[in-house]
Amino acid sequence: MKSKTRLNQRRNIYGWLFLIPAVVLIATMSFAPAVSALITSFKTGNGADLHFGGLKNYSRILKDAVFVQSIKNCFFYLIIQVPIMLILALILASMLNNNKLRFKGIMRTCIFLPCATSLVAYSIIFRTLFATDGFVNLVATKLHIISEPYNFLAHPTSAKIVIIIALVWRWTGYNMVFYLAGLQNIEYSVYEAAKIDGASALQTFLRITIPLLKPTILLTAIMSTNGTLQLFDESVNLTNGGPSNASITMSHYIYNQAFQGVPKFGYTSAMSFVILFLVAILAAVQLKVGDKRD
């Protein structure tokens, strides 16, 4: 009995010894900067000349028209892009999970490949595609859909739509992989039984696939919400936040305030914690609504 107790104690000690390096790294590289940023968010001033200002930075946020616009833009992307992307990913995963489908490995790879591209590279590619002299305008004019080239990136609504199209193109395959992994855990006999009972493809999808994939759908919804509220590369490299900040995101605006012109580290830290607060609230709501386990 004593030898077994000593063995358990040794295992616990060795386990903590292996954990200590990771804990130290996480505390040093993640928690310490986060605490420092929280303290900085209560300071006002420019550059390194910071002094305690209380809640001035947070009250200033409510009066900042550009930041309020960036919040609206992010929620616009979130409300439109995320549902389209997740529904499309779910449909593609269901189609490519068919055991009788030929070349499904190649098709899965082709759909997943966009998310392996660089964020900067794909943003620049879409900017080129939707330029006035780009491929989209060329095809549209050749097919007589439009009479003359349209400057998609110079109009607020079309600029946002271009960002949404780019996001759907890049991230649909990424979410599809999660759904495919979830579908692999569902016995194929369940679908065969539904087919024998006379269930249509739509009924099978709505009554079997979606309910059994509910935890995975909830996970992808939370991750997609988190990512959309922190959009940066698309706003910077695709539209540059334009026209007139019509497509700028919160992260893009924070970057501009922190690293362009006179840095405002206190104010940008406060804005960063607003993003954190929004992400936490939305994640909690999604968990509350989506997770019905007792």
What pLDDT does 10 receive? 76
Is the residue at 163 inside a domain? yes
Q: What is the pLDDT of residues 225-263, one digit of tens each?
A: 999 999 999 999 999 998 889 999 999 999 999 888 788
Is the residue at 7 inside a domain? no
The shares of helix, strand and coil residues in the chain, as percent rounded to the nearest 5, are 75, 0, 25
Checking DSSP bridges between strand 51-52 and strand 43-44, what pairing results, if any?
Answer: antiparallel
Q: How does the average pLDDT of the chain come out, rounded? A: 88
Is the residue at 37 inside a domain? no
Contact 243, 153 (CB under 8 A): yes
Domain that holds residue 243: 64-290
What pLDDT does 212 receive? 85
Is the residue at 14 inside a domain? no
Contact 168, 88 (CB under 8 A): yes
Query: 196 vs 69, which has greater pLDDT?
Result: 69
Number of domains making up the chain: 1
Structure tokens that stand for 67 in this block = 């930041």
Is the residue at 20 inside a domain? no
Q: What is the pLDDT of residues 73-112, one digit of tens each?
A: 999 999 999 999 999 999 999 888 877 778 888 888 899 9
Q: What is the pLDDT of residues 124-174, one digit of tens each?
A: 999 999 999 999 999 999 998 988 999 999 999 999 999 999 999 999 999
Helix, strand, or coil (residue 44) = strand
Query: 14 vs 271, which has greater pLDDT?
Result: 271
| Cβ partners under 8 Å of residue 216, min gap 6 | 178, 179, 181, 182
Is the residue at 39 inside a domain? no
What pLDDT does 236 receive? 93
Band (pLDDT 50/70/90 cuts) for residue 292 is low
Q: What is the pTM of this model?
A: 0.87
What pLDDT does 30 receive? 85
Is the residue at 137 inside a domain? yes
CATH assignment at residue 195:
1.10.3720.10
Q: What is the pLDDT of residues 192-217, one digit of tens each?
A: 788 888 888 788 888 888 888 888 99
Contact 81, 168 (CB under 8 A): yes
- What type of residue is 117? T
Is the residue at 8 inside a domain? no
Could you give the CA distance from residue 36 to residue 38 in angstroms, rounded to a whole number? Answer: 5
| Cβ partners under 8 Å of residue 258, min gap 6 | 264, 265, 268
Band (pLDDT 50/70/90 cuts) for residue 224 is very high
Residue 294 in this model has a pLDDT that exceeds 70: no
Contact 173, 114 (CB under 8 A): yes
Q: What is the pLDDT of residues 53-65, one digit of tens each?
A: 888 889 998 899 9
Query: 7 vs 26, which has greater pLDDT?
Result: 26
Band (pLDDT 50/70/90 cuts) for residue 23 is confident
At CB < 8 A and 24+ separation, what contacts does 44-50 make? Answer: 44/266, 44/267, 45/266, 46/262, 46/263, 46/264, 47/262, 47/263, 47/265, 50/265, 50/266
Helix, strand, or coil (residue 146) = coil
Q: How many residues does the chain have?
A: 294
Residue 289 in this model has a pLDDT that exceeds 80: no
Contact 239, 153 (CB under 8 A): yes
What would the mean pLDDT of 119-128 be, rounded to a whole number? 92
Could you give the CA distance from residue 45 to residue 59 in angstroms, rounded to a whole number? Answer: 15
CB atoms within 10 A of CB 189: 8
Q: What is the pLDDT of residues 29-60, one digit of tens each?
A: 888 888 988 898 898 887 777 788 888 889 99
Residue 20 in this model has a pLDDT that exceeds 80: yes
Could you give the CA distance from residue 271 to residue 58 in angstroms, rounded to a whole number? Answer: 8
Could you give the CA distance from residue 186 to residue 169 in angstroms, rounded to a whole number? Answer: 27
